[in-house]
């Protein structure tokens, strides 16, 4: 632990001096890095990134592609991203306003090439890349905290091997996206505290803005983080103008992101702040949602929080008091702020459950954020604990190691989850999980979707012939690889789609209904047909979750139907649909 | 002592009578009634020994501004014209015998006892002599016989009572530190007038002195030495006869210079000393037309394809007309497809330009790409090694800022005698010219009057000033500039430290009146981004850097080789940056700032901006006359950078209002046709630009302000998009003016900040 006693370096990364403002890094030529700082070079970062990303991608391929543990929430986002490129015509509107947009936008690169998306490899790849990014950033942070390479790697390995982290690193869910941006925020912010460099503050503000649009609860984080910036500057005896200006620079990206999102909501769905209440996650088509019902008392919430904490992030239990101790013993204010963030990560999910009145809101994945912040807190303690760094490292390592079996166990038993149980079972048994069930009422696998997609692909050729509620049948559309066959709610706007759904005769040839999804509009409109019992709608094909019906050319009560032309086929309809953005010519500043 | 014979005396009396001049005896003759005129030792030294012997003349007295000179040849016209010219004094001639004059010259210049009046044996004192003790000492030190020890300048000046010994000693100490010349130090400190110094130096060097103020340039002598040689050697031919060419020069000519001159004339060279500025002025007067032509046409004649004297080349005109016709035809046949294609190209261009700028700024945020110059480097700098530095300050109708300008230049931390400050005034700007003259500036300030000719632009004035610039390094400042006091030294160090190919060192610019109003705040934010992030980013990329308007420091020799600035380009600075790069040179950035006055009045700002945009378009068009050649010269990365930084900038400003208009109309009316113009993928790009690109640029503006430390401006910079709208107004004005009045220089009015302090002063 010699590094903590190193003399002050040009970037203030030597001896820990909590009350001194670091010199601007800009005054340091790039060719003269501080002597004692263990930096992460580009090559090292690339190697770490490739190793972890490769590992997670391989794991994801095995579990998702081979063993069919597919999280439908991720599938929904993948389908939306896919339709952004490949719908007919492509529409940005398909991203929708019911989910934080970045989770979907992050999948755009992996859906550009059709087979990459429809094979679900893109889904695996996306979360693996973000997870690899998280590990690299943590590596950089540990290096900034003066931790030597030999000590960093065991810590990173144990953190990355956490089965809960590994699951989300390979299942395509947005968790890894927001964890990446949260890590970037905290890494950059702490780097700013250490160096005073504008670059890090800008990076932190930008990362936070993306983070809040990946998961809205991080809006609450923005306030304490901004206060932390102000407090740090106050400690540096900055002028009022500097504090004000710096706080603006840090906070303005998040404000802009939320303002813009509210503007879109206001313009298009006429509810500027509707996203605040609506962002509850997509409805899993493969779940009966039974486990997600029920109320929430303080006791229930506390119990579940305890389970999450002890099962997935026990490090937080040690880090929180140590950070407080550090603050009280050394008046090191950043420790206090980090302790506050660890506490916030815990409290915020509990409060969310209490406000929602549903303890089921407390999913196991909430432990990811807590675990991440605790890890960063531990790194800070290591940096600040002059002479006791090794001890801190050993304690952290022990707790990270203990997390592995604890998380493994909790994933098999915790009631509110996203098929973590199926994931563990798949790894345990090595068997295909298709057709099995997982805690939360999930029916594991995508065989029904695949069969329906395959049938459509082989038998239907007409464009826009299948009327479907894409909010429920997204998986079939995605897996078919031919979104042009469908007449979904986005292509020509929701209003036109609803008009057609009321009178599909002669306008479309088929109806595709998700039979188990109560939210399917067509299922609600044609309940008898959805059961395959309407003689006017002949069943062409059905699986356990979908039914494909032939639409008669004319309404059953009529003898003839005038020839109809689909509105909007030759031109763009008026944009009145919900979840539709407008075609807006864009410009940029200089 | 050689006695004048009676015959000689008689002849001399006769010549005096014929000439109507008084006859004097320089020493008494037994039985003679001729008046005896004592030789004033100090007056005698007002002409050099060489002159005295050559013309057989000797000053014998000086009183009330009139110098009495004894001559044996009253009808020697040359002698009678040379003496006043060399001394600059009114001359009263008296006749003496040649023997007595020769004898007296020996006495004065060889240390033998001079001809004395009476028998006292004392040297007549100079009326201005003040330091009695030193004079006495000097007299004692004068050898009684044999060759004299040449007196040093300081001794001469003290001897003549012009300065005191203490003043000399102080300057000698300064000389030891800075390497400056003693005489120049005294002149710059106002202790000695330049003319006085030249008198003394002339005596010291035993060279005649000439006052050039009354001399009109004459064609015949001027023709003997080519103008560039005259300019280079700083000599001006002032007279000629069958055997001799008379030259004025500020200093002794070395062997090389003499050899160069002899390549052009077989005549004997006779050297006269004159003030450097007087020589420059005479050269400028003599070669007025040539200088003006050089300043205007040098680039055009040497590199015609680099000059913006025409807006479009023939090929460009053909291409543009063809493209316009194709566009119109396509618009008629495929209206929607054509518009979509144009929008797609614009959007992609837009996106690339934005991404490139983002890359540059982010890269610069994390690194220091400026040449690293520490306080230790500055402290270790030996001022004796500093080169002469030329400062060009173009002025036009800015009489009111001249005093502040002078205060500012005096505030620069650089040896004054190594400064060559050229105040460039247009001929028709009598007010500014008179204001400068009225100040009676020390000799390192040169008033350069730029003859009236078209185009009347700042670069032409700079070229004119560059012609006579003495410095190894030359820098441009505007009149209201306030550079960091140590900027010149930093630039010198930067040239020493940087790659040998670095030919220009660009200092950062910002504004001192940033808080004046919202416009100046936005302007400061823009400059912070440009100079603190974008230019260092370009520097790191080794890409061509469009230079800023002032505070660019050049190696003079290379700048001259590049033919200076393009007088037809209204952003000659940006253009020169590109030409430097094309020639294989580089530009480096230093962490030193010059504060300027930001435009605080909107109409004035629009005019200035329109000129900038017009210049950028000019620059782009000039260098794109031969795109493939440009690609070879700049390399692929440099070429792309040029397209995105120079081409990208004005295209973005021009496109902005079109896209904003379409967006606004769409939001208000949701007309389908606009939607059709943006098919999905183009829409994605456009939307990204609109919602993310705009914000990113706003954000990097904030970052630039943070980097600069202008925290108070950050909240105002949030309104920067309004400023972009103003930029577009300027851009369209500039584009229209490019075709209606391409070389018109939209003058920026300065002095609008009532709180402005001294210009060019440390801050």
Closest CA to A172 of A275, A50, A56: A56
Enter the tokens of residue A420.
């973590």
Minimum Cα–Cα distance from B722: chain A residue:
A589
Statement: residue B66 has pLDDT above 90: no
Minimum Cα–Cα distance from B662: chain A residue:
A585
Contact call for B689 and A586, based on CB within 8 A:
yes
- Strand A442-443 relative to strand B586-596, pairing: unpaired
pLDDT at A288: 61
CA–CA gap between residue A50 and residue A47 (Å, rounded): 5
Does any CB of chain B come closer than 8 Å to the CB of residue A140?
Answer: no
Residue among B680, B687, B690 minimizing CB distance to A90: B680
**DSSP state, B4?**
P
Q: What does the angle CA B436 – CA B438 – CA B439 come to, to the nearest 5 degrees?
A: 70
Give B708's contacts in chain A (Cβ within 8 Å): none
N-to-C CA span, chain A: 49
Model pLDDT for residues A96-106, shown as the tens digit of each residue: 888 899 999 99
Contact call for B711 and A89, based on CB within 8 A:
no
CA–CA gap between residue B574 and residue B592 (Å, rounded): 19
Statement: residue B642 has pLDDT above 50: yes
Statement: residue A566 has pLDDT above 60: no
How sure is the predictor about B31, in pLDDT bands with cuts at 50, 70 and 90? low
Max intra-chain CA distance, chain B: 125
Give B691's contacts in chain A (Cβ within 8 Å): 260, 586
How sure is the predictor about A278, in pLDDT bands with cuts at 50, 70 and 90? low
Model pLDDT for residues B275-292, shown as the tens digit of each residue: 888 888 888 888 888 888
Statement: residue A60 has pLDDT above 70: yes
pLDDT at B318: 93
Q: What does the angle CA B293 – CA B299 – CA B305 come to, to the nearest 5 degrees?
A: 135
**Are the C-beta atoms of A317 and A400 separated by less than 8 Å?**
no
Does any CB of chain B come closer than 8 Å to the CB of residue A31?
Answer: no
Which is higher by pLDDT, A181 or B710? A181
Model pLDDT for residues B399-456, shown as the tens digit of each residue: 888 888 888 888 899 988 888 999 999 888 889 989 888 887 887 888 888 888 888 8
Statement: residue A34 has pLDDT above 60: no
Which is higher by pLDDT, A109 or B165? A109
**Are the C-beta atoms of A545 and A516 separated by less than 8 Å?**
yes
CA–CA gap between residue A392 and residue A155 (Å, rounded): 12
Statement: residue A12 has pLDDT above 90: no
Closest CA to A468 of A531, A528, A530, A558: A530
**Residue bearing tokens 């982010």:** B362
- Of the listed ranges B81-95, B354-368, B628-642, the least confidently predicted one is B81-95
- Of the listed ranges A197-201, B277-281, B576-580, the least confidently predicted one is B277-281
**Are the C-beta atoms of B711 and A241 separated by less than 8 Å?**
yes
Percentage above 90 pLDDT, chain B: 15
**Residue bearing tokens 């007299």:** B139
* Beta strands across the sheet bearing B419-426: B445-450, B419-426, B389-395, B473-476, B552-555, B502-511, B586-596, B482-483
Give B710's contacts in chain A (Cβ within 8 Å): 245
Enter the tokens of residue B144.
């009684």
List the 360-379 stretch of B: residues with Cβ below 8 A of A: 362, 365-368, 372
Does any CB of chain A come closer than 8 Å to the CB of residue B695?
Answer: yes
Statement: residue A456 has pLDDT above 50: yes
CB pairs under 8 A between A and B: 164
Give the mean pLDDT of chain B. Answer: 82
Average pLDDT score over residue span A278-300: 64
Model pLDDT for residues A397-408, shown as the tens digit of each residue: 999 999 999 999
pLDDT at B623: 92
List the 570-589 stretch of A: residues with Cβ below 8 A of B: 571-572, 574-575, 581-589
pLDDT at B739: 84
Statement: residue B17 has pLDDT above 70: yes
Model pLDDT for residues B462-486, shown as the tens digit of each residue: 999 998 888 999 999 988 888 899 9
pLDDT at A575: 28
**DSSP state, B443?**
T
Give A201's contacts in chain B (Cβ within 8 Å): 706
Residue B59's SS3 state is strand
CA–CA gap between residue B165 and residue B135 (Å, rounded): 11
Average pLDDT score over residue span A274-280: 66
Q: State the nearest Cα–Cα gap between B686 and chain A, in angstroms.
A: 4
CA–CA gap between residue B70 and residue B518 (Å, rounded): 75
Name, of A70-84, A544-558, B199-213, the range with top average pLDDT: A70-84
Statement: residue A557 has pLDDT above 90: no
Average pLDDT score over residue span A503-507: 91
- Please report, for residues A237, B433, B434, B449, the alpha-carbon distance to residue B428 in angstroms, rounded to integers and kept in the order given: 55, 9, 11, 9
pLDDT at A40: 79
Statement: residue A29 has pLDDT above 50: no
Give the mean pLDDT of chain A. Answer: 84
Statement: residue A571 has pLDDT above 50: no
CA–CA gap between residue A525 and residue A503 (Å, rounded): 11
**Are the C-beta atoms of A36 and A9 separated by less than 8 Å?**
yes
Q: How many residues does chain B have?
A: 763
Burial of residue B97 (number of CB atoms within 10 Å: 0-12, 13-18, 19+):
buried
How sure is the predictor about B231, in pLDDT bands with cuts at 50, 70 and 90? confident
Does any CB of chain B come closer than 8 Å to the CB of residue A206?
Answer: yes
How sure is the predictor about B662, in pLDDT bands with cuts at 50, 70 and 90? confident
pLDDT at A294: 66
At residue A13, φ and ψ (nearest 5 deg) are: -110, 20
**Residue bearing tokens 């078209």:** B454
CA–CA gap between residue A232 and residue A226 (Å, rounded): 10
Closest CA to A75 of A545, A439, A499, A570: A545
Give A248's contacts in chain B (Cβ within 8 Å): 702, 714-715, 718
Contact call for A25 and B366, based on CB within 8 A:
yes
Model pLDDT for residues B711-729, shown as the tens digit of each residue: 999 999 999 889 999 999 9
CA–CA gap between residue A197 and residue A397 (Å, rounded): 31
Model pLDDT for residues B353-405, shown as the tens digit of each residue: 888 888 888 888 877 788 888 888 888 888 888 899 999 999 988 888 888 88
**Are the C-beta atoms of B105 and B1 separated by less than 8 Å?**
no
- CA A114 to mean position of chain CA atoms: 22
- CA B24 to mean position of chain CA atoms: 52
Average pLDDT score over residue span A464-473: 92
Model pLDDT for residues B500-523, shown as the tens digit of each residue: 899 999 998 888 888 888 999 998
Q: State the nearest Cα–Cα gap between A37 and chain B, in angstroms.
A: 17
List the 49-78 stretch of B: residues with Cβ below 8 A of A: none
Contact call for A572 and B676, based on CB within 8 A:
yes
Residue B5's SS3 state is coil
CA–CA gap between residue A1 and residue A386 (Å, rounded): 8
**Residue bearing tokens 């910079």:** B717
pLDDT at A293: 59
């Amino acid at each position: 632990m010699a590094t903590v006693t190193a003399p002050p370096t040009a970037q203030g990364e030597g001896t820990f001096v909590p009350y001194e403002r670091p010199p601007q890094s800009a005054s340091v030529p790039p060719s003269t890095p501080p002597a004692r700082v263990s930096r992460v070079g580009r090559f090292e970062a690339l190697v770490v990134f490739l190793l972890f990303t490769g590992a997670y991608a391989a794991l994801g391929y095995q579990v998702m592609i081979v063993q069919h543990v597919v999280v439908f929430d991720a599938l929904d986002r993948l389908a939306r991203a896919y339709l952004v490129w490949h719908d007919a015509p492509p529409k940005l509107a398909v991203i929708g306003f019911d989910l934080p947009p970045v989770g979907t936008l992050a999948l755009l690169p992996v859906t550009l090439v059709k087979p990459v998306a429809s094979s679900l490899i893109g889904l695996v790849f996306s979360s693996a890349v973000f997870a690899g990014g998280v590990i690299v950033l943590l590596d950089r942070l540990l290096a900034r905290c003066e931790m030597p390479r030999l000590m960093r790697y065991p810590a990173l390995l144990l953190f990355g091997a956490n089965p809960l982290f590994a699951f989300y690193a390979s299942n395509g869910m947005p968790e890894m996206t927001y964890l990446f941006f949260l890590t970037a925020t905290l890494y950059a912010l702490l780097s700013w505290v250490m160096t005073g460099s504008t670059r890090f503050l800008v990076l932190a503000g930008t990362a936070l803005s993306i983070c809040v649009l990946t998961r809205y609860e991080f809006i609450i984080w923005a306030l304490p983080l901004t206060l932390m910036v102000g407090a740090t500057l106050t400690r540096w005896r900055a002028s009022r103008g500097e504090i004000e200006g710096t706080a603006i620079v840090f906070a303005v990206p998040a404000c802009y992101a939320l303002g813009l999102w509210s503007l879109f909501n206001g313009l298009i769905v006429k509810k500027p702040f509707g996203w605040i209440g609506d962002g509850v996650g997509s409805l899993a088509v493969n779940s009966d949602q039974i486990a997600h019902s029920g109320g929430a008392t303080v006791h229930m919430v506390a119990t579940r929080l305890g389970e999450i904490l002890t099962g997935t992030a026990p490090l937080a239990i040690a880090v929180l008091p140590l950070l407080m101790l550090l603050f009280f013993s050394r008046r090191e204010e950043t420790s206090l702020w980090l302790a506050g963030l660890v506490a916030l990560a815990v409290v915020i999910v509990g409060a969310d459950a209490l406000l929602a009145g549903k303890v089921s809101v407390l999913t196991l994945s909430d432990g990811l954020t807590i675990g991440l912040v605790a890890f960063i807190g531990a790194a800070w303690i290591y940096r600040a604990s002059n002479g006791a760094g090794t001890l801190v490292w050993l304690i952290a390592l022990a707790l990270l190691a203990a997390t592995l079996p604890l998380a493994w166990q909790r994933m098999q038993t915790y009631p509110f989850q996203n098929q973590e149980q199926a994931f563990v079972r798949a790894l345990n048994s090595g068997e295909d999980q298709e057709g099995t069930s997982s805690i939360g009422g999930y029916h594991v696998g995508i065989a029904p979707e695949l069969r329906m997609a395959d049938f459509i692909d082989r038998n239907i050729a007409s464009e826009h012939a299948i009327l479907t509620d894409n909010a429920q049948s997204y998986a079939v559309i995605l897996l078919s690889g031919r979104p042009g066959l469908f007449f979904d709610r986005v292509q020509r706007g929701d209003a036109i789609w609803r008009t057609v759904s009321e009178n599909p005769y002669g306008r479309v040839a088929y109806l595709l209904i998700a039979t188990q999804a109560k939210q399917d509009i067509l299922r609600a409109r044609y309940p008898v047909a959805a059961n395959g019992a309407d003689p006017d709608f002949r069943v062409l094909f059905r699986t356990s979750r979908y039914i494909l019906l032939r639409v008669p050319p004319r309404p059953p009560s009529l003898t003839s139907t005038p020839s109809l032309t689909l509105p909007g086929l030759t031109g763009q309809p008026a944009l009145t649909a919900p979840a539709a953005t407008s075609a807006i010519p864009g410009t940029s500043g200089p | 002592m050689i006695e004048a014979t009676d015959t000689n005396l008689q002849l001399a009396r006769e010549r005096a009578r014929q000439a109507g001049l008084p006859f004097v005896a320089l020493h008494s003759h037994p039985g003679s009634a001729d008046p005896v005129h004592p030789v004033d030792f100090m007056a005698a030294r007002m002409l050099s020994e060489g002159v005295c012997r050559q013309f057989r003349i000797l000053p014998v007295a000086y009183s009330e501004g009139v110098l009495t000179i004894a001559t044996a040849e009253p009808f020697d016209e040359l002698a009678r014209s040379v003496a006043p010219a060399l001394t600059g004094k009114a001359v009263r001639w008296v006749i003496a015998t040649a023997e007595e004059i020769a004898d007296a010259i020996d006495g004065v210049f060889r240390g033998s006892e001079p001809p004395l009046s009476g028998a006292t044996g004392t040297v007549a004192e100079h009326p201005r002599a003040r330091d009695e003790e030193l004079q006495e000492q000097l007299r004692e030190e004068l050898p009684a016989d044999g060759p004299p020890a040449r007196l040093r300048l300081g001794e001469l000046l003290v001897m003549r009572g012009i300065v005191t010994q203490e003043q000399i000693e102080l300057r000698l100490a300064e000389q030891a530190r800075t390497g400056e010349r003693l005489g120049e130090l005294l002149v710059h400190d106002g202790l000695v007038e330049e003319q006085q110094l030249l008198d003394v130096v002339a005596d010291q060097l035993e060279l005649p002195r000439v006052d050039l103020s009354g001399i009109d340039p004459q064609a015949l002598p001027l023709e003997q030495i080519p103008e560039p040689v005259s300019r280079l050697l700083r000599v001006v031919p002032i007279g000629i006869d069958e055997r001799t060419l008379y030259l004025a020069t500020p200093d002794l000519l070395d062997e090389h210079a003499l050899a160069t001159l002899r390549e052009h004339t077989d005549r004997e060279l006779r050297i006269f000393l004159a003030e450097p500025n007087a020589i420059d002025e005479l050269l400028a007067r003599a070669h007025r037309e040539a200088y003006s032509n050089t300043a205007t046409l040098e680039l055009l004649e040497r590199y015609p394809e680099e000059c913006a004297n025409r807006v479009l080349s023939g090929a460009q005109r053909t291409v543009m007309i063809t493209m316009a016709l194709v566009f119109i035809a396509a618009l008629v046949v495929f209206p929607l497809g054509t518009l979509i294609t144009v929008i797609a190209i614009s959007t992609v261009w837009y996106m690339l330009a934005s991404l490139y700028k983002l890359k540059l700024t982010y890269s610069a945020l994390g690194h220091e790409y400026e040449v690293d110059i520490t306080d230790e480097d500055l402290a270790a700098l030996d001022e004796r090694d500093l080169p002469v530095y030329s400062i060009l300050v173009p002025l036009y109708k800015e009489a009111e800022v001249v005093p502040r300008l002078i205060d500012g230049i005096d505030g620069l931390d650089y040896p004054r005698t190594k400064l060559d400050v050229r105040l460039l005034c247009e001929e028709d700007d009598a007010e500014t010219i008179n204001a400068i003259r009225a100040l009676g500036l020390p000799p390192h300030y040169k008033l350069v009057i730029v003859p009236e000719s078209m185009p009347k632009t700042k670069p032409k004035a700079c070229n004119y000033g560059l012609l006579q610039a003495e410095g190894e390094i030359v820098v441009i400042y505007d009149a209201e500039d306030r550079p960091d006091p140590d900027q010149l030294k930093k630039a010198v160090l930067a040239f020493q430290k940087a790659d040998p190919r670095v030919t220009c060192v660009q200092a950062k610019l910002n504004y001192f009146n940033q808080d004046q109003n919202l416009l100046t705040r936005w302007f400061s934010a823009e400059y912070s981004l440009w100079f603190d992030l974008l230019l260092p980013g370009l520097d790191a990329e080794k890409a061509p850097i469009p230079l800023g308007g002032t505070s660019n420091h050049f190696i003079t020799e290379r700048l001259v080789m590049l033919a200076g600035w393009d007088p037809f380009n209204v952003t000659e600075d940006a253009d020169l940056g590109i030409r430097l790069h094309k020639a294989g040179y580089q530009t480096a950035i230093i962490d030193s700032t010059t504060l300027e006055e930001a435009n605080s009045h909107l109409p004035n700002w629009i005019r200035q901006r329109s000129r900038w945009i017009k210049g950028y378009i000019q620059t782009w068009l000039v260098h794109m006359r031969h795109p493939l050649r440009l690609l070879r010269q700049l390399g692929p990365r440099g070429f792309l950078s040029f397209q995105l930084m120079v081409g990208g900038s004005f295209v973005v400003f021009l496109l902005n209002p079109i896209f904003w208009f379409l967006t606004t109309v769409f939001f208000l009316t949701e007309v389908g046709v606009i939607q059709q113009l943006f098919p999905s993928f183009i829409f994605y790009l456009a939307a990204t630009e609109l919602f993310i690109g705009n914000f990113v640029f706003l954000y990097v503006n904030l970052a630039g302000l943070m980097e600069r430390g202008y925290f108070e401006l950050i909240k105002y910079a949030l309104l920067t998009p309004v400023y972009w709208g103003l930029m577009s107004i300027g851009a369209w004005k500039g584009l229209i003016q490019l075709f209606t009045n391409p070389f018109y220089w939209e003058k920026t009015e300065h002095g609008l900040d009532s709180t402005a302090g001294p210009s060019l002063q440390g801050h």
